Structure formats: structure tokens, C-alpha cells
């Protein structure tokens, strides 16, 4: 769940920390891509949704196959 998206449903919301745990849990899997479905700037005057989306996309890139970990 991110604040202020057009299609949020209370019963199916995933909090940002839960999404982060899911994404980080995919480390080591044979992934080739990720997808972020919706960010609506007109519905996000504070920019919180865009910030959460950017962080989740960064995390998605970090778990792709071939990324080295220290």
C-alpha cells in the first residue's frame, strides 16, 4: 500500500515495509525484471507515493540476477 493511488483496496493492501521484505526475499532467484504498476502524481501532492515507488524500484534492481553483494 502506498498513499494516494487510484486503485487501492483495503483488503489487499501491502504496506511499503512488507513490499520491501518481499522484494529482498527474492534475492538469489532467477529474476530478469520487475514492475511497478501505478504512481499518479496528481493524486500525490506530498510526493510520498513517488518516493516509496522509487525506493521499491531501486530494491527491485538490486535483487536482479548478476548484482554483486558485499
Burial class (CB in 10 A: 0-12, 13-18, 19+), 4: middle
Among positive and negative, which fits the CA dihedral 51, 54, 56, 62?
Answer: negative
Q: Is the pLDDT of residue 57 over 90?
A: yes
For 8-47, write each residue's pLDDT tens digit.
556 667 888 999 999 999 988 888 888 888 888 888 888 8
pLDDT at residue number 43: 81
Using an 8 Å Cβ cutoff, are 4 and 48 in contact? yes
Amino acid at each position: 500500500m502506498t498513499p494516494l493511488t487510484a486503485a487501492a483496496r483495503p483488503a489487499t493492501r501491502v504496506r511499503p515495509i512488507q513490499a520491501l521484505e518481499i522484494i529482498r526475499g527474492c534475492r538469489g532467484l532467477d529474476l530478469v525484471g520487475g514492475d511497478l504498476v501505478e504512481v499518479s502524481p496528481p493524486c500525490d501532492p506530498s510526493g510520498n507515493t513517488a518516493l516509496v515507488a522509487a525506493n521499491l524500484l531501486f530494491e527491485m534492481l538490486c535483487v536482479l540476477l548478476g548484482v554483486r553483494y558485499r
